Amino acid sequence: MVKATYFVKSVLKKLLVTSAFFMSFASSATFITYTDLSSYNAATTNSVVEDFEGMIPLNNNIFNTGYSNGWNFGGGVTFRSLTNGYSSANTSNYMAVLGAAYYAPYYSRGTGDELHATSDNWLRMDIASGTKAVAALWSTIFRGGDTLSVRFSNGEATSFVTDQSNWKFQGWKFDSNIYWVEVRAPGDYMMVDNFTYSNVAQVSEPTSFSVICLGLVALILGARSRKLRVKQLA
């Protein structure tokens, strides 16, 4: 009995160390990337979408802005085109909402009106209330398969490559709130549509892992018990 008790304690100790390792590894990933809308929607709730529709004057196909304080369309997001991103030495630059008819080879992409920002600048989206997930359709005017740099208010950064067709869907989900995201297309004009920010459904991942650990304990103890019975019969 003493040996069996010691064996159980030894197994449990090893499993606790192993589970702590895997749980700490999982928690080190502060965001998850999504490359399609359906997966993003499945992981988020209460999404708010800015699609830039209804901003362009009738028969004009373009709505310009150079507001130094940014551009808010009446929702929870303010858009800015900034020379240095979050740096204090900033110049706010030109942005425009464009319709497909303005110049179809560049702007006819099947999603209606879209936001266009100055080349080489950081396009910044400030989310006033904070959010745990953001996503959008991203592109550049010349559709060159550009590498876009991305950085977030929590200090994280990443990058992705745009498609050489119409749009590239890209979204991110976080462990805690972020309050802005900045995206830059080096050497080309940034374009964005259907900018989305969302809440996140809570999923208890440690519980699933605990079930796996308990299953392993049962298997090990079962094997140990069978081994002892075989010895007794011998």
pLDDT tens digits along 88-133: 445 557 788 999 888 888 888 899 999 988 888 899 999 988 999 9
The verdict on residue 224 lying in a domain is: yes
Domain that holds residue 144: 30-200
Q: What is the CA radius of gyration of the chain?
A: 26
Task: Say if residue 111 is in the same domain as residue 140.
Answer: yes
**16 has a pLDDT exceeding 50:** no
Task: Say if residue 117 is in the same domain as residue 221.
Answer: no
Question: Residue 34 sits in a domain of what CATH number?
Answer: 2.60.120
Q: How far is CA 7 from CA 11, 18, 120, in A?
A: 6, 17, 63
In eight-state DSSP terms, residue 57 is P
Task: Say if residue 103 is in the same domain as residue 216.
Answer: no
The verdict on residue 17 lying in a domain is: no
Task: Say if residue 142 is in the same domain as residue 214.
Answer: no
Rounded to the nearest 10°, the torsion over CA 33, 39, 45, 47 is 80
Task: Say if residue 85 is in the same domain as residue 102.
Answer: yes
Task: With beta carbons less than 8 A apart as the criterion, state whether 52 and 97 touch.
Answer: yes
Q: What is the pLDDT of residues 52-92, one digit of tens each?
A: 998 887 667 877 765 656 788 878 999 988 876 554 445 55
Task: With beta carbons less than 8 A apart as the criterion, state whether 99 and 113 touch.
Answer: yes
In angstroms, the CA 44 to CA 51 distance is 18
The verdict on residue 157 lying in a domain is: yes
Task: With beta carbons less than 8 A apart as the criterion, state whether 68 and 83 touch.
Answer: no
In eight-state DSSP terms, residue 187 is T
**String of b and e for 126-145 (b: at least 16 CB within 10 Å)?**
bbeeebbbbbbbbbbbebee
Task: Say if residue 121 is in the same domain as residue 227.
Answer: no
In angstroms, the CA 150 to CA 65 distance is 23
What total number of domains does the chain contain? 2
Task: Say if residue 217 is in the same domain as residue 192.
Answer: no
Task: Say if residue 217 is in the same domain as residue 165.
Answer: no
Task: Say if residue 190 is in the same domain as residue 212.
Answer: no
The verdict on residue 21 lying in a domain is: no
Task: Say if residue 47 is in the same domain as residue 157.
Answer: yes
Higher-scoring residue by pLDDT: 170, 69? 170
Of 96, 99, 48, which Cα lies nearest the Cα of 71? 96
Task: Say if residue 83 is in the same domain as residue 71.
Answer: yes
